[in-house]
Amino acid sequence: MTERSALDTVTAYLDALLGKDFGTAARYLAEDFKFEGPIRQYKSAHEFLKGFTAFAETIRPGWRKIAAFGDAHHAVLMYDLFLVSGAALRIADYYTLEDGKVRTETLVFDTHGFR
């Protein structure tokens, strides 16, 4: 991967992941990637992508950025993704990067929309 900012890397990762291009999304993740969310936690990129593939059936492809901040090794994004029903799900996401790859992701959203 070419040298890019953390925010650029995370934006490209989200474009792939939320566009349901899981092969491309996987290339942005470190092998020891860790994910922590309100419903699930994963301890590897493989485990995360396997779990996310099932979740992807509940959302429409794409996302809409609300706000973003990043430096060399961290990125924070607030964005909307959309359920197949059309309802928006507002997400806050914090990432750490190492050697140009996403090492950790901490995702927060209101789970009320899933009740």
**How would DSSP label each residue in 33-57?**
EEEE-SS-EESSHHHHHHHHHHHHT
CA–CA gap between residue 115 and residue 23 (Å, rounded)? 31
CA–CA gap between residue 4 and residue 97 (Å, rounded)? 11
CA–CA gap between residue 31 and residue 49 (Å, rounded)? 12
CA–CA gap between residue 43 and residue 91 (Å, rounded)? 21
What pTM does this model have?
Answer: 0.90
Say whether pLDDT at 22 is over 60.
Answer: yes
Mean pLDDT (the chain) is 93
State which amino acid sits at residue 10: V
User: Which pLDDT tens digit goes with each residue over 65-99?
Assistant: 999 999 999 999 999 999 999 999 999 999 999 99
pLDDT computed for residue 62 by the predictor: 92
**How would DSSP label each residue in 66-80?**
EEEEE-SSEEEEEEE
Helix (H) or strand (E) holding 87, with range, is none
Is the CATH code 3.10.450.50 the one for domain 6-110? yes
pLDDT computed for residue 2 by the predictor: 46
Q: Which residue has the tokens 């914090």?
A: 94
